[in-house]
Chains A and B, each alone.
Chain A
Amino acid sequence: MKRREYGVNLDDGVALSTEEEFRLLYVRCNPDESACLQGWFADNAQVSLMLGGQIGSGKTTILNEVSRSFPGTQIINICFDTDPIEQSEGCYTMFLLGRILQTCLNAGVDSGGCGIGLSDFPSIDADSWHSFADKIVSRPSTLKQAERLLEAGTVIGKNSKLVRNACGQLLDRLQGITSRKPIIIAEGIDKFRPGTSEYFSIQDTLSFLSQRKTLFEVNAIHLFKEQDFRPGIRKLFIGGIADDMLVQMFQKRLGSYAPIYQDAFSLLSKYSGGNARQALRLLNAYYFRRTQHKNDHAAAIALACHQVRKDLLGVAYGRFPTEIFTVVKHDKYIEGSLFQDPKVSEGANDALYHNWLFIQSEPNLATPTRWPCVINPLIDEAIKWKADAPRTPEEEAVRKWASDHDISPLGLNLPVDDDGKPAWDKFWEEIEASSFSDRNALNILGLIDEIGAGLFGIERQDRIIITYKDRKNLEAVRDFLVGEANTYSYFPCEEMILEGGEGRSPVTELLVWLADPDPNRIYSVELIGKWTDAQLRDLEHRRDIFDNLQMLWWIQLDNLKHYLRFWPQLRQFFRIYRLEDELLRGITMEEIQADIDLIKEMSEEDDPEGVHRLQNVLVYLKEAGGKS
């Protein structure tokens, strides 16, 4: 992603990866963990390692930072979340084989005599191992190619042990040539939620890899499931980031403008709970409120908290671990055994996986089972706990503003039942209701105001979910957004309708469509049909393929409420807006015509996309009688 050398660099918390990003934006928040990882990469005697942290804790950034220090090292990167064509044992194993083969062949390893032959995979139609490896790791560009990969995946699924043995032999030969253990990075394991069918499907692959020098990128909950990897496997936990580090992060993100907004840093870091992504999203929302909506400090804080809580945490009420909340609030730690206790593990895992709780660090030696832990401040602050420390005048001002303006969670006190006990169900109903209330609905001008920073700039690519009640005229809304983006620069748009449901393969279609992604393009995706749970989970796993893409997703409101239950990870990459029913209110034909003229004059193309899009809007407005 291109960044500004000077000035503001905001986003919704995507991992840093390029040299420019590290130079401009990186704060070494976890020096001990970085040093530990450096040691692991350098030491040939090391074996497998789990690098664990909660969603948004900065695992990928640390990993990118450390692996940059070993430029010449043979590293086999395998993205299990995004790259296998299907979530099945066969496809995971096939992808593993492909990546190992590629590395081994490049190093001059002889691939013969491993127990598998090219003729075993006729659907791949490869005339050499090089070609075979490339074909099985490349994202298919047609549905026919996808079918062939799936066919090969089925063959491998029936012989997965044999194929893993072949992988083992290849790795041994590579070690023989390089005199070093091959380093494997198994990325994206954090997206695999324990207990799901896809987690079950990848188990044998994980066990195989854990016998090698593999680094597993996992969620914090996986750290409590070492038996799924290798008993006694070494673990490295990425915990909460200290407030002063978060402040440094804010300073870097705002560049020269940082002092102007520095009064907000202490509260923004407090409400971040030590989580990097939550911090960056709060900063992004706060900055937007201050600079574009002219909100004062207290209002901007309250609204930023409201927006981020709505995007990251709001869920349809299900099984909420209220008893765990109460204990954590009181004890400020969570017992590791809770994540394995059959009675409460589901709730504990849920709380951790959804970032309702933040584990701050590993237990200390004196209390090795107690993990220091806090309730996510965006939830915690919504609750009127009796034992809370007195609030600062600044916090009180924020809460008062929120309360006066009926903004939750700040200012929303926990309802109590007739006995004076917390009414958790009601609390969550209120949280959920506030997430999707009509009051939050935006007209098209409000929406373009909110999403403009990503839509109009090349320095960031945001992912936006636009939800609506009535689909009518949605094309005109999309054309308006894309057309207006083209008054800022040339931003072509690709559209896709993904229909879910039994017998359909929407995620495969998506993979084919995004085979060659372009960060300067706007991708407009409409989700329709009755998506199955498995399809929704599959999309959840693939969230990293949307990284650095400018996306607009269109989802009907009731459907989105259902989908969000399946998307604790995916939702972290999106901001969600609700479009009011009167979709194009506020747009005039004169302004659209002026923008058409502007694009015509500025563009060097014969038929600029922006003109075409805005002409569609003009036609719609004419039919609607001048104004919508």
Chain B
Amino acid sequence: MNEMKRRAIVWDMIERKAFRPESPGKWLSLYAKTLHKLLGMEPRWDRLGQNDEVIFPFLALKCCYFIESASKYSIAFVSESSDCPRGQFHVDSCFLSKSSLQTFADNDKYPRHQIGELARDVEAVLDGMLFHPRCHAHLKCLGIPHVKFDEESGGLPPHEVRIGGGIENPYVFLFHLRYQFCLVSDQVRIAERQRLIDLFQRKIRGKEDVSAKDLFDF
């Protein structure tokens, strides 16, 4: 099987294993309760529902979302200080997209004889899905004022935020925000990226689902 087809299968497997939660409430709760750890911030008392907002105080930005299903949602970035919208996305699976047309059937399996390629395939898929979406916008494009992080302490420039376009799954979208807004240090990003690559590779090999607990490293 060629590389592109294998990776399409992996992409689909990752989404099914981790981003179509049986209990959206628990998935979102764990998102809320672990976000601070990745961002290197103080924990705050938080619950998230399906129609809620995630706050990134260091950017004075909130992300308001409404999830109707795993393929239909809307999301808006709003300036915390002025409630001024900075960008909105609406995703509705009633309409076609190129990627939806290319979704592979469930019975497509990752070829066993090519399992040695799995690590690289998972890495490439996660890069495109979460860490560096092919189609993306930077904060500046959303009109978010420039924020400086301390580079001596490891902080990253805001240019490292890449908000993915065309993400059809709301849980993938929220999850990729978690990584993209982690500007506290490149080391933290590198460690999180590797953790997720290892996690998905392990779970795909073991034919297991990825629990929210594992996904968020609770």
Closest to B187 in A: A6
- Is the CB–CB distance between B41 and A291 below 8 Å? yes
Interface residues in B145-178 by Cβ distance below 8 A to A read 147-151, 153-156
- Is the CB–CB distance between A255 and B43 below 8 Å? no
**B197 beta carbon closer than 8 Å to chain A:** no
- Is the CB–CB distance between A594 and B25 below 8 Å? yes
**B201 beta carbon closer than 8 Å to chain A:** no
- Is the CB–CB distance between B43 and A7 below 8 Å? no
Instruction: Given A594-B25, A601-B26, check contact A452 B43 (CB 8 Å).
Output: yes
- Is the CB–CB distance between A7 and B33 below 8 Å? no
- CB of A26, distance to nearest CB on chain B (Å): 14
Could you say which of A10, A292, A591 contacts B44, with CB atoms under 8 Å apart? A292
Cβ–Cβ < 8 Å partners of B184 in chain A? 6-7, 255-257
**A448 beta carbon closer than 8 Å to chain B:** yes
- Is the CB–CB distance between B149 and A7 below 8 Å? no
**B213 beta carbon closer than 8 Å to chain A:** yes
Could you say which of B29, B40, B80, B155 contacts A487, with CB atoms under 8 Å apart? B29
**A258 beta carbon closer than 8 Å to chain B:** yes
- Is the CB–CB distance between A449 and B153 below 8 Å? no
**Residue from the set A4, A257, A288 with the largest chain B CB neighbour count within 10 Å:** A257
- Is the CB–CB distance between A452 and B45 below 8 Å? yes
- Is the CB–CB distance between A255 and B150 below 8 Å? yes
- Is the CB–CB distance between A291 and B57 below 8 Å? yes
Could you say which of B33, B39, B81, B153 contacts A258, with CB atoms under 8 Å apart? B153
- Is the CB–CB distance between B40 and A602 below 8 Å? no
- Is the CB–CB distance between A255 and B153 below 8 Å? yes
Cβ–Cβ < 8 Å partners of B104 in chain A? none
Could you say which of B41, B47, B80, B149 contacts A8, with CB atoms under 8 Å apart? B41
**B218 beta carbon closer than 8 Å to chain A:** yes
Instruction: Given A6-B184, A256-B184, check contact A291 B42 (CB 8 Å).
Output: yes
Instruction: Given A594-B29, A602-B218, check contact A257 B47 (CB 8 Å).
Output: no
Could you say which of A6, A251, A259, A595 contacts B185, with CB atoms under 8 Å apart? A6
**A492 beta carbon closer than 8 Å to chain B:** no
**B89 beta carbon closer than 8 Å to chain A:** no
Alpha-carbon distance between A251 and B149 when the two chains are bound, in angstroms: 11
Chain A: interface residue total (CB-CB under 8 A) = 39
- Is the CB–CB distance between B43 and A256 below 8 Å? no
**B183 beta carbon closer than 8 Å to chain A:** yes
Cβ–Cβ < 8 Å partners of A292 in chain B? 44, 57
- Is the CB–CB distance between A598 and B29 below 8 Å? yes
Interface residues in B108-136 by Cβ distance below 8 A to A read none
Interface residues in B31-66 by Cβ distance below 8 A to A read 33, 36, 39-45, 47, 57-58
- Is the CB–CB distance between A256 and B154 below 8 Å? yes
Interface residues in A591-627 by Cβ distance below 8 A to B read 591, 594-595, 597-598, 601-602
- Is the CB–CB distance between A457 and B43 below 8 Å? yes
Chain B: interface residue total (CB-CB under 8 A) = 34
Cβ–Cβ < 8 Å partners of A594 in chain B? 25, 29, 47
**B139 beta carbon closer than 8 Å to chain A:** no
Alpha-carbon distance between A513 and B197 when the two chains are bound, in angstroms: 46
- Is the CB–CB distance between A259 and B42 below 8 Å? no
Closest to A460 in B: B42
- Is the CB–CB distance between A294 and B40 below 8 Å? no
Instruction: Given A255-B40, A290-B57, check contact A6 B29 (CB 8 Å).
Output: no
Could you say which of B36, B39, B81 contacts A296, with CB atoms under 8 Å apart? B81
Alpha-carbon distance between A4 and B25 when the two chains are bound, in angstroms: 28
Closest to B148 in A: A259
Could you say which of B33, B149, B188 contacts A257, with CB atoms under 8 Å apart? B149
- Is the CB–CB distance between A260 and B43 below 8 Å? no
Alpha-carbon distance between A484 and B29 when the two chains are bound, in angstroms: 12
Could you say which of A10, A259, A294, A456 contacts B149, with CB atoms under 8 Å apart? A259
Closest to A456 in B: B43
**A514 beta carbon closer than 8 Å to chain B:** no
- CB of B4, distance to nearest CB on chain A (Å): 36
**A428 beta carbon closer than 8 Å to chain B:** no
Alpha-carbon distance between A106 and B182 when the two chains are bound, in angstroms: 51
- Is the CB–CB distance between A488 and B33 below 8 Å? yes
- Is the CB–CB distance between B43 and A488 below 8 Å? yes
Interface mask (A286-311 → B, CB under 8 Å = 1, otherwise 0): 01101110101000000000000000
Cβ–Cβ < 8 Å partners of B43 in chain A? 452-453, 456-457, 488
- CB of A594, distance to nearest CB on chain B (Å): 6
- Is the CB–CB distance between B57 and A256 below 8 Å? no
**Residue from the set B26, B44, B156, B218 with the largest chain A CB neighbour count within 10 Å:** B44
Offer 26 A-B interface pairs, CB within 8 angstroms, sorted by A. Answer: A5-B185, A7-B40, A7-B188, A251-B150, A255-B40, A255-B154, A255-B155, A256-B150, A256-B156, A257-B155, A259-B149, A259-B155, A260-B148, A288-B42, A291-B57, A292-B57, A294-B57, A294-B81, A456-B33, A456-B43, A457-B36, A488-B33, A594-B25, A598-B30, A602-B30, A602-B218
Known: A598-B29, A601-B26. 4 other contacts (CB 8 A): A7-B184, A255-B184, A257-B184, A452-B44
Interface residues, chain A, with chain B CB atoms under 8 Å away: 4-8, 10, 251, 254-260, 287-288, 290-292, 294, 296, 445, 448-449, 452-453, 456-457, 460, 484, 487-488, 591, 594-595, 597-598, 601-602
Closest 5 CB pairs of A and B: A7-B40, A256-B155, A291-B57, A453-B42, A6-B185
